[in-house]
Amino acid sequence: MCSWSWPKKRAPRPRTAWGPDQTKVGILLSQQANRSLGTDARVSGILKGLESLGVDVTVFAPGEAAGDLTSARFVPLATGERFNLAERVARQLMATPAIGNAIFWSPATVRRQVSALAKALTSINPDVDVLQGEQQLASMAAIEAGRELGLPVVADLHGMWSEELRAYRSTKPGGRADRNIRTLESAIVQGADHVVVVSPEMREYLLSNLSADPSKVSVVRNGSFPQIAAAPTHTTPRRIVFAGMLSPLQNIGLLIKAASIVRREIPDVEVHLTGRGELTDSVKRQCRKAGVPARFFWFEDPTRLLQFLASCDVGLLPVNADPGRRLIHPTKLYAYMSVGLPVVTNRSASWSDLVEQEEIGIVTDSTPTGFATGILELLRDPGRIQRCGERALTLLRTKYAYTRELETFVAIYSKLGGGRLRPPPITGMG
């Protein structure tokens, strides 16, 4: 099994007296925008929320700024073409069982990626008070750079590599690669000054499986902001959409089979799928075989993506019930809510209970017939579509207001700054 050690901590960098208007946070990404819809949505939501709370945010990432990242100060990192190529190749190969297993048989590739990203960041000596890494690779690089620069580090983890790769069937539980991945994730938990996760279930996972310090792990759920003023009227609903990456982690088989059933009942229904992800070519073949003339879309600009989603009638969330999926709160759910789209999902985790309890969609079993029945119920009831959409928008303004959720980040920054930052006021329910 591999080991992982961090550079010796340098003395904390001298800072001026902090205040809400002087908080400087550097968010480190390991990839360019438009490589992962989930990461893009998480980061853009965090940026918008932190800026509204008076936090000065700088984003550091390979390549050029895109979409919502331009709302913050963006600094491209000179990581080199070898880094960019390796990042793209690794993402594709992790879905191939034998090769995905080989990537983590030895941690050498990951070490090189982390080192390149950390060196690119330390070389510019960023003017920030706290570093924050998004996902595992950037978190490891942020920890390494933070120790060199004398900066506290927050690791923001959206999912667990170990569980996701098991779901891919890229690694065997208990095998060498699996043990190596868990060692790397444990190193993040132990090396970061604070770890943020997206669900209470994921927090419990870190405490139980990685011996995390409870005082150093906080939950900041995914979320979004309302993108439209009110849910539109749907006179003849027929457009259903799946806004996730086409990867093995998604239950694409359930989606295609259910869509085939729906089209038999409503022949003119439009099925819209993203045109990105490891399984894109395979999904296109499956759709043709199932007689589902799916329409594939992709928008580089997140604003255009949300505008398109707002033109649809029902948002689909077909989910595999593997342990990794049960740990997360999918960003797609909140993207649908932000444009007043009712959701159809199969029961899999606590967030699917949210859909049912908050009456923002329909939760089904995991059979194609059951999933299709949920879609048909909504398509045949335009009034229910509008009620679910309006309820979702109301929740994002009140109970699930994302700015309130992000106040946790500012409280963490205050703690890491020795109390010199004043945490934001706790807002009441709207």
Complete DSSP assignment for 272-298:
EEES-STTHHHHHHHHHHHT---EEE-
The answer to whether residue 423 is domain-embedded is no
Domain of residue 131, CATH code: 3.40.50.2000
- What backbone torsions phi and psi does residue 3 show, to the nearest 5 degrees? -120, 160
- Helices and strands per DSSP (H, E), number in the chain: 17, 13
The answer to whether residue 119 is domain-embedded is yes
Q: How far is residue 181's CA from residue 163's CA, in Å, rounded to a whole number?
A: 10
Query: Are 181 and 313 within one domain?
Result: no
- pLDDT digit string (tens) for 2-24? 666 777 777 676 654 444 446 79
Torsion of CA 289, 89, 243, 97, to 10 degrees: 60
The pTM is what? 0.89
Q: How far is residue 54's CA from residue 21's CA, in Å, rounded to a whole number?
A: 5
**Which residue is it, tokens 């009831």?**
381
Q: b/e for 280-313, b at 16 or more Cβ within 10 A?
A: beebeebbeebebebeebeeeebeebbebbbebb
Query: Are 212 and 270 within one domain?
Result: no
Torsion of CA 85, 89, 92, 96, to 10 degrees: 180
Helix (H, G, I), strand (E, B) or coil at 373: helix
Name residue 236's amino acid.
Answer: T
Spans of the chain below 50 pLDDT: 16-21, 85-86, 89, 423-430
Beta strand 56-62 with 239-242: parallel, antiparallel or unpaired?
Answer: unpaired
Q: Where are the alpha helices (DSSP H) in 53-194?
A: 81-93, 97-103, 108-122, 135-149, 161-168, 176-191
Query: Are 155 and 249 within one domain?
Result: no
Please give the residue range of the domain that contains residue 103: 24-223+401-416
Contacts of 222 (CB under 8 A, 6+ apart): 41, 42, 45, 158, 198, 328, 329, 330, 331, 333, 334
Query: Are 57 and 199 within one domain?
Result: yes
The answer to whether residue 353 is domain-embedded is yes
* Count: domains in the chain: 2
- pLDDT digit string (tens) for 33-59? 655 666 778 888 898 899 888 889 999
Predicted local confidence at residue 20, as pLDDT: 46
Query: Are 206 and 275 within one domain?
Result: no
User: How many other CB atoms sit within 10 Å of the CB of residue 218?
Assistant: 17
Q: 166: which 2 tokens? A: 């098991």
Contacts of 428 (CB under 8 A, 6+ apart): none
